[in-house]
Amino acid sequence: KEVETQAKLANVVVLATGGTIAGAGASAANSATYQAAKVGVEQLIAGIPELSKLANVRGEQVMQIASESITNENLLQLGRRVSELADSKDVDGIVITHGTDTLEETAYFLNLVEKTDKPIIVVGSMRPGTAMSADGMLNLYNAVAVASSKEARGKGVLVTMNDEIQSGRDVSKMINIKTEAFKSAWGPLGMVVEGKSYWFRLPAKRHTMDSEFDIKNIKSLPDVEIAYSYGNVSDTAYKALAQSGAKAIIHAGTGNGSVSSRVVPTLQALRKDGVQIIRSSHVNAGGFVLRNAEQPDDKYDWVVAHDLNPQKARILAMVALTKTNDSKELQRMFWEY
């Protein structure tokens, strides 16, 4: 009978990359002071015996790092492994355990480049497993539940944190001390409760199967950098980034991606030199940058990131630049993805 049930369960692979979900602290009182990326994937899976009722779960340790240290090479390595697994007949769903600092970047990257309709779920935690009220166990349980469900297919890369199912495209880490840390300006897609998913809406932007990007065709990612804006900002960072070889600079602007009059001439000159200038906003609850509002983008040949925050804009710019260096094409991609 047991063999029969196991045959019916979905096959889910957990790819572990590190982060707080694999963190360990000195005592149960250490919810914020601990070391990330300490616990191996086998131990994470073994810590949740209930997973075996949801799916046939196996783990792979892809890397063991805190996510602020993830490089473009790491992203490509992870993306290629996800793609290989998604192509395998024996795999129904993929879960990626990840540090929360750059989780939103990895989730968006995979959402753009993985050609599969199989569920891909990225998950992390805000407290290490050694802490009181650790959140990683339930987040991972929920991730495996969603990864093994048929309803999660074709919805793009998803993130399960704090009982919510979020689109990997929209979600962002909004606060770094609460377990209710991941939010999207446009709301979650659904909820996952006691291993069952409840869906409310679908992503409207192009992703995975419907994307023109494919990890199999991406050999390397170009250098795209971010410059932060604020009162009294100078053009020093923009110039230095261009000089160090950036193909595009994401302007992490104030408000509607506005640009200081001290910086405008430098960005005009950099664009003439071939650097793509992409205006985004660093406002906290979600930016909404429109073309030719605040700055004449048509005249300067700049691109706007619309609702993508600066770090997500960097991901799309890198992926887009593997295909085109035409600013009109880049702008189309920024509207569509």
Ligand X SMILES: NC(=O)CC[C@H](N)C(=O)O
Could you give the residue numbers annotated as active site? 20, 100
Q: Is 180 in the site for ligand X (CB under 6 A)?
A: no
Q: Is 129 in the site for ligand X (CB under 6 A)?
A: no
- Told to check if 19 binds ligand X by CB under 6 A, we report yes
Q: Which of 25, 59, 79, 99 binds ligand X (CB under 6 A)?
A: 99
Q: Select the residue interacting with ligand X from 67, 197, 229, 331 (CB under 6 A).
A: 67
Tell me the window of 94-102, 156-164, 208-216, 319-327 that interacts with ligand X (CB under 6 A): 94-102
Q: Please, which residue, 175 or 290, has the CB nearer to ligand X? A: 175
User: CA 283 to CA 51: how far, in whole Å?
Assistant: 39
Least distance in angstroms from the C-beta of 269 to ligand X: 36
Alpha carbon 113 to its chain centroid, in Å, reads 12
State how far the alpha carbon of 197 is from the alpha carbons of 68, 126, 142, 160, in Å: 30, 22, 9, 11
Which residues touch 305 (CB under 8 Å, ≥6 apart)?
Answer: 250, 257, 278, 279, 280, 281, 287, 289, 312, 313, 316, 334
Q: Which amino acid is at 322?
A: T
* 100 binds ligand X per the rule CB under 6 A: yes
Residue 106 binding ligand X, by CB under 6 A? no
Q: In the range 22-51, which residues lie near ligand X by CB under 6 A?
A: 36
Calculate the dihedral angle through the C-alpha atoms of 285, 290, 293, 299, rounding to the nearest 10 degrees. 140
Of the pair 126, 227, the CB lying nearest ligand X is at 126
Count the neighbouring beta carbons within 10 Å of the beta carbon of residue 255.
14
| Count of all residues that appear for the chain in the document | 337
In angstroms, give the least distance from the CB of 52 to ligand X: 26
Please tell me whether residue 35 adopts helix, strand or coil conformation.
strand
Minimal distance in Å, beta carbon 18 to ligand X? Answer: 6
Query: Rule CB under 6 A: is residue 66 a binding residue for ligand X?
Result: yes
CB nearer ligand X, residue 11 or residue 166: 166
Task: Report the phi/psi class of residue 121: left, alpha or beta, with left for phi > 0 and alpha for psi in -120 to 50.
Answer: beta
Window contacting ligand X (CB under 6 A); options: 66-74, 194-202, 251-259, 271-279: 66-74
Q: Does 135 bind ligand X (CB under 6 A)?
A: no
Ordered strands of the 196-199 beta sheet: 55-65, 10-18, 93-97, 120-123, 158-161, 164-167, 190-193, 196-199
User: CB-side exposure of 241: number of CA atoms within 13 Å?
Assistant: 23
Does 68 bind ligand X (CB under 6 A)? Our answer is yes
Closer residue to ligand X in complex, CB, 21/218: 21
Judged by the rule CB under 6 A, the positions of this chain that interact with ligand X are: 18-20, 36, 66-68, 99-101, 124, 126
